Structure 1
Amino acid sequence: MKNLKNLLFVALFFTSAMVLGQTKVSGTVVDETGEPLPSASVVEKGTSNGTSADFNGVFTLTTESDSGTIVVSFVGYKSIEVSFSSSKTKLGNITLAEDGNLLEEVVVVGKGVIDLAGGRKTPVAVSTIKAAEIQKKIGTQDVTMTLVNTPSVYVAGQAGGYGDSRMAVRGFEQDNTAYLLNGQPINGMEDGKMYWSNWSGINDIASAIQIQRGLGASKLAISSVGGTTNFVTKTTDKRKGGYFYGGVANDSYFKSTLFYSTGKSEKGFGTSVMFSHWQGEGYNEGTKGQGQTYFISFGYTPNETHNFNFLITGAPQWHDQNFSKNISTYLQYGRKYNNNWGTYQGEYLTERRNFYHKPVMNLNWDFKISDDTNLSTVLYGSWGRGGGTGGRGRRERTADGYIDYSAIYNKNAKATDGLGINFGNDTYITRASMNLHSWYGVVSNLETKINDNLVFNVGLDLRTYYGEHFRVVEDFHGLTSWKENIRLRDQNNNHQTYGSFGTHKQVTTTRSMQANPWDALFADFEQKDKIAYSNDERISYGGIFAQLEYATEDFSTFFQGSLSQQRHQRFDYYQYADQTLIDGTSTQATGALPAGIEDGVTSEKISNVGYNAKGGIGYNVNENSKVFANAGFYSRQPYHDNIFPAFNNQINPFSENEKILSLEAGYTYSSSNFRSNVNLYRTSWKNRVTNSSNFVGGLIQNTLGFGVEQLHQGIEIDFSTRLLNDQLRLKGFTSIGDWQYKGSAISRVQDEDQNIISETPVDVDGGKVGDAAQFTLGLGLDYNFTQDFSADIDWRYYNGLYADVGPVKTNLELPSYDIVDIGASYRLKIGEDNKSLNFRLNMNNAFNEVYLSDLRTNIVAGDTNADGTDWNGIDTANQGYFGLGRTWNFSVRYRF
């Protein structure tokens, strides 16, 4: 009994000693916006004793000593050390700062197909903008504006209206930069272009945007000449909660957003939903707009092996447009002048409205086959419906240039039986040029770790696309019907003469459709209701890709290759006199209309094979310095619109694969509070087909250049540092480019109806590439006055900006300019469970700089078309856009 008491006493003594020697340390891990970081790692320094934060970022760690240090870390953020003692065990909020350009932490699904720079050890030139920065600074701007504070990025076209901006990377326009949404390619299949109005809600649903300039890290069989931009959307949040957002801005802009996530249940299910609405009058006259965004994400994680996420999103919108005009016109009527609108009986009407609805669905599946092998797959589909409006017939204008709808209605009222005829009886309608498509695809990537140093990837990229293009009546303006006489072509694509059956046709329609994205989604038109043109195309694409990367602690190298085949075929239902195929065979004509009208004329099938090959090396010089060099060669198939540039079934004899050779090298220096990158690049691009347009004499003239070579080379520098105990963040960038056309080209000018006006050879050697500033410089300051109050300022300078006129020998340089944006943020905490009210005020172009953002003509003093007067050295006969003046926006976000 005595021995038992002694044993119990000893046990009690050691237990008491252990308990007395233990300390419970607690706190909450958050990011710089105050958002919790679920599953953040908390480890007692020098030991293996650690824990993870819960969904609200809260942790409790029991230590074996009454004082010491814990190390707090989270993927993509800088780790920090925090001291504790027996008198300081409640550490409160522990804020982690973003670590450079890392992005891994925001990717919940699809890691294998969302090619982020952090997923490959061999570096690339990259910049990342995360959700907090997007939400803070985007305001009422297009999502492209989130990237303006990065090297070699230029954004223009904002003055056209909501969603009409364009973005160039290293001097390459949008059709030559790859854009991906959760691994899904979203560049237009026909022309490679991006229409940002179709993606107006992407700033609401993005977790992050990463732009990889140049060759990039993408493994897909795509040619990212300028770079690759990855939009990583929210998936199913692990944390339960949400937010409500309300924002106002200049020109009667208003936006509201509601987001909520159920969080992941114990059985692995979760749902996130978001809805938003916006509307505004537009900065320029006649540029009203309105739209919505919806986003629904269902996640399911049945076990550690599988992870699924289904997403559907869309951004139906309409916005009225402003086109480029002579500088003299702006000087006469004001820089906000837009002549595409007018009034009728006190009601606002517009001739130019873009309307579109593009629902997107995708299903991501991550399959952990083993500890060393993973399969990621995304199945996707999108259905685009909408178009753009314009005038057709005899337009009337007021003395100050606006559309005179009263005069139009009066003339239309005089038409016999309410029948309008295209340029036949002084009548007028608003037409809608429709662009419909159905797009389906799959991207899959298998990654296997061969050993500790060697990783192999192989995958496929399959797509099928069917597009429809036609015109219909949008508004009769008092007429009851509309008739057109259409010139038809023979089997050799030549226009036939008027006067006999089969050489022309007449279309009379009584149907119209309102320019509304929801109406367009469900509208269905018969061939007899289509005017001006009607043609479809089918594009099929198949690609395979593979990558092998070898990496040690200090050295990495990779090789990547892809092979793809693209098929094109065009179907014309409108402009051919019979159904004779281009290859000389015939099909049976049917229907009461002239042969070929109902069933269409089919082009021959065009098939092109392309390939990519790129490789590189990276080396860690020391713990602070890294260097890399990459090289790539692309043989890229021409776009559909370059194969059929005359808008008929005639195949462009100049359409051959474009040849791209790209070289780049970089150096990165990073320390505990400073990071800098230096990148060099040289890209040679041959066999190009270029396209530019002007609004001349009331018509849009399209200029195409064939066989063009471009040479782009330059240097990029960026840095960021934290000072004053991390209260002050200083960042900056510069890019110096030399972008030129080489050799000669063939220039073809067409009007709005695709009729060829002229075709001539031109010498373009040494001509400057336009539409993007070749020299940029930027500085930014972010200062945290307190944990909850901060202010920021960004300054950007642009020089070496030339007119967007395609390949020319001598181009017109625009005046240089600089922009200052300022903002302030304040967070008001509510309760103790991370609820808060977040206030944000932005003022863009704070000093109201007056500048030309882009020009569409190249008129110099002494030219036939010159005015003889100038604005800052630019002849006022030139057409283009002034940039936006001072704008502002204010928002409140309630997080719960």
Structure 2
Amino acid sequence: MKKITFLFVVILMAVVGETYAQGVVTGTVFDTESNAPLPGANIIEVGTSNGTSSDFDGKFSIKVESSTGTINVSYVGFGSKDIAYDVTNGNQDLGTISLGLDNSLEEIIVVGSGIIDLAEDRKTPVAVSTIKAREIQEKTGNFDLPEVLKSTPSVQNIKGGGFGDGSMYLRGFDQTNTAFLLNGQPINGMEDGKMYWSNWSGVLDVANAIQVQRGLGSSKLAISSVGGTVNIVTKTIDSKEGGFVQQMIGNDDYTKSTAYYSTGVNEKGWSFSALFGHWQGDGYVNYTHGQGQTYFLSVGYQPNENHSLNFLITGAPQWHAAPGRGKISEFLENGRKYNSWNFNNSSSKNNISGDVYPGGRNIYHKPVSNLSWDWTIGDNSSLSTVLYGSLGRGAFASTRTDKKTKEITYARGSYNNHNWYGLISNFNSKLTENLEFNLGADVRSYNGIHFRGVTEFIGVNSVDTKNTLLGEYSLTNSYGGISPWDMVFKPNTEHNQRFGYDYEEIITYYGAFGQLEYSNEALSAFFQGSISNQDHQVTDSFNYDKETKSEKVSNIGYNVKGGVAYKVYEGHKVFANVGHYSRQPFHDDLFDNIRESVDLIKPAVDNQTITGLEAGYQFKGDIISVNLNAYHTTWANRTILDNNGESQETIAYESYQTQGVKQVHQGIELEIMTRPLQNLRLDGFISLGDWVYDGNAKQRTFDGNGSQKGGEEEIKIDGFKVGGASQVTAGIGSRYTIVPRLVVDANWNWYNDLYSQGSLSKNPLALPSYNTVDTGLSYKVLVGKEDKNSIQFRFNLNNVFDEVYLESVFGNTQVSSDPKENYKGVNTSNNGRFGYGRTWNVSLRYNF
């Protein structure tokens, strides 16, 4: 009996010992985005408090408490993974464990994905740069989207001087000739192609990725972008529950508070997410204070695996004071923060810091909403549809002064409202294993409403006025004040409360597009085509004795493009693309002066023609990746509207309309991404451009009232350089992990071959080159149960060495013989703007 008992105890101890046998599990954690080790990742044995972290090489070793079980591998900002292990027969090496960003496109459910044209979906390469959510979050600070893009090839950011007044150039083309898409929805102004970043100040708070496609790009929509396409992809349906709260402060009393929460997708397929924010600040330039809000609401529903729907509404109501454009000599005398619109004698009831209307205030609210539906029809086909709309309401307000008493009487608003609706639908079908087909439609309807009205009565209770339609009448109501919310909910809809001008524009757009793409292991090729029609009509309610409509103008446009790529051998690929566009003129190009009449321009403005050629080479390796692109773009039959830089209310003011302009932009772009050390990322780029006008053009001149002065004349512009952006740019960016979750980064940008803007008929000025250095520091502290949450600190210091530089110059006055009248080879009588000096921002963010 004792022997049996002893044998039973031995067996029991062996079993128990086997159950609680300790073994060692090892592995290496990698970042899928950079294909590099991920130091500081958390490794937890599920069901226990037993854990460890990966080292600088991404390696980890954990002594587990059970012979079989699961470990969880996670890192803040990345999707976690559960991996089973078994050390029954000894230690186990799990090999490489790759984690992807949980805010990257791979980890986000993107509704309307068939509409959003991202280059990853195209096997045939294009010249492209992608900025992911982490970099957007860290480097945006208190600037606009163009600031985030400046460290990509052939992009230049112009800050502009006021909140939301920034702009960007892409391969020498300004924003009106670059297509901006928000989740596949076109957002350039339909009248003139312009972008006002003050209306989109909140988009970076909800952006998952921003992709810059230079040149022909991959967009299938019937849009004829000349410089390229910028795709902004925002949050829609988050796959997981979570959110953040963040507080930021910066130079010149800037402060911004933001909160975001997402429920993730519940068992019934529903998801909800919301973001709210508020910002305010004094502005870097004197008297450019402003404030605004951001809101974002998203509701998603996935009834089954074949259908996914999402409703989204977002907006960024704001007001900000505008900077005046002064002579270079005035800036040299008063400093870089000088504002030529410095009026400080307003007694406005909305007075803020003693100066509510320092020459001009931008007030605007543009709610945007869309309803997206993704339908997986079968194994080889799908349909994506987006229905969208926006209501723009706002004005540029400035004070008016009594000519006799010199006292301010009221604030006049130049209102620019719109109602915009559209539908985009794209059908995708995989015809064979190697052949894929897309077909879609793009329809838009736009109503622009333009007039002047009283924004606020200051020294009077009414304003007397008259027009041809209504005769003499009094303005007794003010609309909106400085509130962008009131602009939407208390709009000026009465013609007898408007003055100066009062007209509406109707623009309708409908187009179809298609793409056929073939690909195998080594070769890929595509062909795209689109055709569209635009209708334009103006209705005037001011200058005639009855409401008068213009002729209806219709223009057919089209674009075709194709390309081929070949994988020479593993990691090496070459490609070439070609495209031709027939692009309809902008609405504002079609009419003489729609403030004065509804007459069409004669001779008529015809379509512009754009032909693009590009070729490239791509190499992707473990330590280094290289993109090399060459491009040649010819833009012919262009119409340019500009002026002499004087105030429109001065006698000297003139504006010009030039037809038949031809530009040739060509260049080379080299981009190199490296990881020389496991905790160091080092990237660089250089862009060499040559952008000139080719041939001469015809020009007409108008005075401040829009009346033509003289006849049409030929202007000689052949060989003139295209101004506005640096034709040669370069940059180096670095990111160094000091210890896990403590990172320092820096960027150096250099700008050369920059030329002035101004009268097209005069040779532009060569401007001095300049360079800037920006740096930042990030640190994350893991908190909460199993370190699932984090507190993130971020510090940005821009223009570290306080470089003094001319950001832009408007004028053509050549260098003076008197050295005192020049600044770095530029005559100081020209109008210009200096770039910002040293600026900073600090943020604290809690991720949960």
TM-score bucket of the superposed structures, by smaller chain: 0.7 to 0.9
Q: 1:540 aligns with which of 493, 508, 528?
A: 508
Residues 510-533 of structure 1: CA deviation (Å, up to 9, x unaligned): 222213211110213311111110
Say yes or no: does 1:373 pair with 2:381: yes
Q: Are the counterparts in 2 of residues 258 and 274 from structure 1 also a CA contact under 8 Å?
A: yes
Q: Distance in 2 between matches of 1:51 and 1:228?
A: 43
Q: Are the counterparts in 2 of residues 431 and 471 from structure 1 also a CA contact under 8 Å?
A: yes
- Counterpart AA for 2:626: S
Aligned to 2:393: 385
Q: 1:353 aligns with which of 347, 361, 367?
A: 361
After superposition, the CA RMSD in angstroms is 3.1
Residues 638-662 of structure 1: CA deviation (Å, up to 9, x unaligned): 1111112422311122411110100
- Counterpart AA for 1:461: D
Q: Distance in 2 between matches of 1:883 and 1:609?
A: 41
CA pair 562-50 structure 1, distance change in 2 beyond 3 A: farther
Tell me, what secondary structure is at the counterpart of 1:847?
coil
Say yes or no: does 1:667 pair with 2:623: no
Aligned to 1:122: 124
Q: Distance in 1 between matches of 2:799 and 2:661?
A: 36
Aligned to 2:656: 703
- Counterpart AA for 2:472: Q
Residues 286-343 of structure 1: CA deviation (Å, up to 9, x unaligned): 1011000000111111111011111110000001000211111112222212132313
CA pair 887-21 structure 1, distance change in 2 beyond 3 A: closer
Aligned to 1:440: 421
CA pair 97-272 structure 1, distance change in 2 beyond 3 A: closer
Q: Distance in 2 between matches of 1:183 and 1:719?
A: 29
CA pair 27-110 structure 1, distance change in 2 beyond 3 A: farther
Q: CA deviation at 1:458?
A: 0.4
Give the fraction of aligned pairs with identical amino acids, expressed as a percent: 46
Q: CA deviation at 1:66?
A: 4.2
Aligned to 2:60: none
Q: Are the counterparts in 2 of residues 26 and 61 from structure 1 also a CA contact under 8 Å?
A: no
- Counterpart AA for 2:811: T
- Counterpart AA for 1:542: Y
Q: 1:467 aligns with which of 412, 434, 448?
A: 448
- Counterpart AA for 2:238: D
- Counterpart AA for 1:515: I
Q: Distance in 1 between matches of 2:365 and 2:440?
A: 31
CA pair 620-98 structure 1, distance change in 2 beyond 3 A: farther
CA pair 135-323 structure 1, distance change in 2 beyond 3 A: same
Q: Equivalent residues in 2 for 1:72-221 (5 A)?
A: 81=96, 104-106=106-108, 108-156=110-158, 158-221=159-222
Q: Distance in 2 between matches of 1:327 and 1:385?
A: 34
- Counterpart AA for 2:113: K
Q: Distance in 1 between matches of 2:526 and 2:430?
A: 14
- Counterpart AA for 2:488: L
Residues 862-888 of structure 1: CA deviation (Å, up to 9, x unaligned): 69xx99711111111100211111100
Q: CA deviation at 1:811?
A: 1.1
CA pair 654-807 structure 1, distance change in 2 beyond 3 A: farther
Say yes or no: does 1:849 pair with 2:803: yes
Aligned to 2:706: 754
CA pair 664-26 structure 1, distance change in 2 beyond 3 A: closer
Q: Are the counterparts in 1 of residues 26 and 94 from structure 2 also a CA contact under 8 Å?
A: no
Aligned to 1:559: 527
Q: Distance in 1 between matches of 2:102 and 2:682?
A: 14
Q: Distance in 1 between matches of 2:234 and 2:305?
A: 22
Q: Are the counterparts in 2 of residues 253 and 281 from structure 1 also a CA contact under 8 Å?
A: yes
Q: CA deviation at 1:479?
A: 1.4
Tell me, what secondary structure is at the counterpart of 1:291?
strand
- Counterpart AA for 2:279: W
Q: Distance in 1 between matches of 2:223 and 2:562?
A: 15
Note the residue ranges of structure 1 that are not aligned, 5 or more in a row: 1-12, 38-48, 72-80, 83-93, 397-406, 413-427, 489-501, 577-594
Q: Distance in 1 between matches of 2:797 and 2:464?
A: 50
Q: Distance in 2 between matches of 1:668 and 1:28?
A: 27
Say yes or no: does 1:692 pair with 2:639: no
Tell me, what secondary structure is at the counterpart of 1:369?
strand
Q: Are the counterparts in 2 of residues 654 and 707 from structure 1 also a CA contact under 8 Å?
A: no
Say yes or no: does 1:60 pair with 2:83: yes
Q: Are the counterparts in 2 of residues 507 and 531 from structure 1 also a CA contact under 8 Å?
A: no
Q: CA deviation at 1:175?
A: 1.0
Q: Equivalent residues in 2 for 1:213-292 (5 A)?
A: 213-292=214-293
Q: Distance in 1 between matches of 2:26 and 2:752?
A: 55
Q: Distance in 1 between matches of 2:676 and 2:198?
A: 39
CA pair 642-66 structure 1, distance change in 2 beyond 3 A: farther
Q: CA deviation at 1:475?
A: 2.9
Q: Are the counterparts in 2 of residues 107 and 232 from structure 1 also a CA contact under 8 Å?
A: no
Q: 1:782 aligns with which of 735, 742, 747?
A: 735
Q: Distance in 1 between matches of 2:90 and 2:781?
A: 34
Q: Equivalent residues in 2 for 1:814-853 (5 A)?
A: 814-831=767-784, 832-853=786-807
Residues 807-828 of structure 1: CA deviation (Å, up to 9, x unaligned): 3452111111000001111111
Q: Distance in 2 between matches of 1:190 and 1:702?
A: 18
Aligned to 2:478: 512
Q: CA deviation at 1:69?
A: 4.7
- Counterpart AA for 1:844: N
Q: Distance in 1 between matches of 2:775 and 2:654?
A: 39
Q: Equivalent residues in 2 for 1:551-700 (5 A)?
A: 551-576=519-544, 595-596=545-546, 600-647=547-594, 648-652=597-601, 653-696=603-646, 699=650
CA pair 316-830 structure 1, distance change in 2 beyond 3 A: same
Residues 399-427 of structure 1: CA deviation (Å, up to 9, x unaligned): xxxxxxxx643xx6xxxxxxxxxxxxxxx
Aligned to 2:847: 895
- Counterpart AA for 1:306: H
Q: Distance in 1 between matches of 2:24 and 2:527?
A: 51
Q: Distance in 1 between matches of 2:99 and 2:516?
A: 37
CA pair 465-617 structure 1, distance change in 2 beyond 3 A: same
Q: Equivalent residues in 2 for 1:476-495 (5 A)?
A: 476-486=457-467
Residues 569-623 of structure 1: CA deviation (Å, up to 9, x unaligned): 10011112xxxxxxxxxxxxxxxxxx31xxx100011111010100000011111
Taking structure 2 as the reference length, what is the TM-score of the superposition? 0.88
Q: Distance in 2 between matches of 1:635 and 1:229?
A: 20
Say yes or no: does 1:883 pair with 2:835: yes
Q: Distance in 1 between matches of 2:194 and 2:735?
A: 34
CA pair 867-217 structure 1, distance change in 2 beyond 3 A: same
Q: Are the counterparts in 1 of residues 325 and 340 from structure 2 also a CA contact under 8 Å?
A: no
CA pair 28-58 structure 1, distance change in 2 beyond 3 A: farther
Tell me, what secondary structure is at the counterpart of 1:343?
coil
Q: Distance in 2 between matches of 1:878 and 1:797?
A: 24
Q: Are the counterparts in 1 of residues 79 and 107 from structure 2 also a CA contact under 8 Å?
A: no
Tell me, what secondary structure is at the counterpart of 1:550?
strand
Q: Distance in 1 between matches of 2:774 and 2:245?
A: 25
CA pair 95-113 structure 1, distance change in 2 beyond 3 A: closer
Q: CA deviation at 1:70?
A: 3.7
Q: CA deviation at 1:670?
A: 1.2
Q: Are the counterparts in 2 of residues 836 and 895 from structure 1 also a CA contact under 8 Å?
A: yes
State which drifts further: 651-660 or 754-763.
Answer: 754-763
Q: Distance in 2 between matches of 1:717 and 1:223?
A: 25
Q: Distance in 1 between matches of 2:41 and 2:511?
A: 40
Q: Are the counterparts in 1 of residues 609 and 635 from structure 2 also a CA contact under 8 Å?
A: yes
Residues 722-780 of structure 1: CA deviation (Å, up to 9, x unaligned): 1222x000001110111111112223344555344565321110111111110001011
Q: CA deviation at 1:480?
A: 2.0
Say yes or no: does 1:732 pair with 2:684: yes
- Counterpart AA for 2:520: T
